[in-house]
Structure 1
């Protein structure tokens, strides 16, 4: 929920487009976003959350 909240608070991202799943410190991001910049932003935000060990990016551009 902390990762999802951080993405929600980022005005350049649409949280409805990004699915967040977390298991033992590994965050998986999936969904369809508008740009490569959005992908990089979401991965950066998730990586900076305390307790996140790694981020798996399965997001694609629309």
Structure 2
């Protein structure tokens, strides 16, 4: 009797790994933003797909907007950052 194993294709395994990486990237960016003392009173949503990051939401000062991009860029695994933040000061 032959035993059949159900295996995921290599492609689907890679997709799962990328999704996990994206979740880790998002979490690390959120931590970096929350821990930085200059990022108080900012509302930033982080979305990651295949290493690309989009920042949406708002900050109080333009310097916070720039800092958010820098903090996101410094996280390991980030390939690019799209800045869609608004300044509400």
Q: TM-score, normalised by structure 1?
A: 0.92
**1:4-56: CA deviations, max 9, x gaps?**
11111111113761111111101100111111100000000000001000000
Structure 2 Cα separation of the partners of residues 2 and 58 of structure 1:
19
Which residue of the other structure, out of 32, 37, 47, is the alignment partner of 1:11?
37
Match of 2:62 in 1: 36
- The runs of at least 4 aligned residues of structure 1 exceeding 4 Å deviation read none
- Structure 1: stretches of 5+ with no match in the other structure: none
Give the structure with the larger helix fraction.
Answer: 2
Larger radius of gyration: 2
Which structure carries more relative contact order (alpha carbon 8 Å, separation 6+)? 1
Q: 5+ residue gaps in structure 2?
A: 1-26
- Secondary structure in 1 matching 2:38: coil
1:19 and 1:31 in contact (8 A); partners too: yes
Richer in strand (by share): 1
How many angstroms does 1:2 deviate by? Answer: 0.8
Confirm whether residue 22 of structure 1 aligns to residue 33 of structure 2: no
